[in-house]
Amino acid sequence: MATMRLHSTGRYVTRFQGKDVYLGRDKVEAEKKFYKLLLLGPEKERKRYMNLKYLMGQYPKKSDRIESVRKIIEENFADYEPCQFGLMELRRFRDMLIPNHCRTEVNRLVRELLAFFKWMVSWEHVDIAHYQTLSTIEPLKMGHSGSFEGKKVSTVPEEAVKTVQAIVNDSVSAMIEMQLLTGARPGEIVNLQVDSLDRSGPVWKISVSDHKSAHLGKTRTLFVGPRGQKVLAPFLLKRKPGEYLFSPKDYLEKRNKEASKPRQYPCLESNKTDRVLNDCYTVASYRRAIARACKKAKVEHWHPHQLRHNAATEIRKQYSVEVARAVLGHSTLSTTEIYAEVDAQVSERVAQEMG
């Protein structure tokens, strides 16, 4: 099977039709030349590499949505070459999504697949005209698509939040509280590190590098007031520089404390686990921890992103819609620079008074 490897000379090389072909030192350019060689190779070798299953594996984007797309493609269109996947196949792909996804999510997943085809255009795996043809598919319309409508994201009742916080470990409880105080997205909270905190002023600042709008050149700063500082203080004492503030390993601490108590049912099996815990939570593991707690407490299921709505609702109630926009980091590209300084000042004042 043809592969590309790094030669001792620092150049990329591949074995093609019995000869070594050097592809250059730049990896991106070398990969382009490598794929072009595969197109020139024998029919069997070309089909092995140029089907959708293989190319989906090379697609660099990683997310829950693209994984859902990848699964359907591998199960139903794995052997298709890109040029064979036309509008009829795209509609069939969409029909497979409709029973299990709401209308807006179906439209999002179709856009993910179109983004994959756009990537293939950039690598010359498919002609741009083919991508443009696929892009003509219209999104599903409300009430005319046969798909169901998703529930509107709502706030979480305060009682449900407190009930879950009493069940989960210290890290998950603190992440919930920090979302309520700062209006942060789940992904912004789970990746917080000790070094990301600026504690030089009365209001602490957290510079978030990996956030939703980072690719647009937009900066994101979380402001932590007295209440949030009180939440973070215990974690700053037990974490070293460079470590994540919130760790799944706190689960072990909570479990060990519970194990030291007399068992109510000694005959039951031990609650020991072979799970390997990471250094930090992911958005998915954070969501699952809350889901398990909801199930255990027998309260209606809710997810972390709803906490952002809780924060927005509270800020709107006490201040204004514009202040909520500033704190939560909502803005259009045309006004990002205009509101940058105002956002920082307003967000800091809200943190001082509320969080």
Q: What is the pTM of this model?
A: 0.57
What domains can be seen in the chain, in order of their start residue? 4-134 (no CATH), 158-262+274-354 (1.10.443.10)
| Share above pLDDT 70 across residues of the chain, in percent, rounded to a whole number | 75
* Digit-coded pLDDT (tens) for 104-150: 899 999 999 999 999 999 988 889 999 999 999 999 988 777 787 87
Q: b/e string for 313-346 if b means 16 or more Cβ within 10 A?
A: ebbeeebeeebbbbbbbebeeeebeebeeebeeb
- What DSSP line would sit under 187-234, residue for residue? HHHHT-BGGGEE-SSSSEEEEESSSTTGGGT--EEEEE-HHHHHHHHH
Contacts of residue 248, defined as CB under 8 A and 6 or more positions apart, other chains included, come to 171, 277, 278, 280, 281, 285
Question: Which band of pLDDT confidence, cut at 50, 70 and 90, is reported for residue 211?
Answer: low
Distance in angstroms (rounded) separating the CA atoms of residues 158 and 39: 59
* Three-class secondary structure of residue 22 per DSSP: strand
* Digit-coded pLDDT (tens) for 75-112: 999 888 888 899 999 999 999 999 888 898 999 999 99
Q: b/e string for 107-131 if b means 16 or more Cβ within 10 A?
A: bbbbebbebbbebbbeeebbeeebb
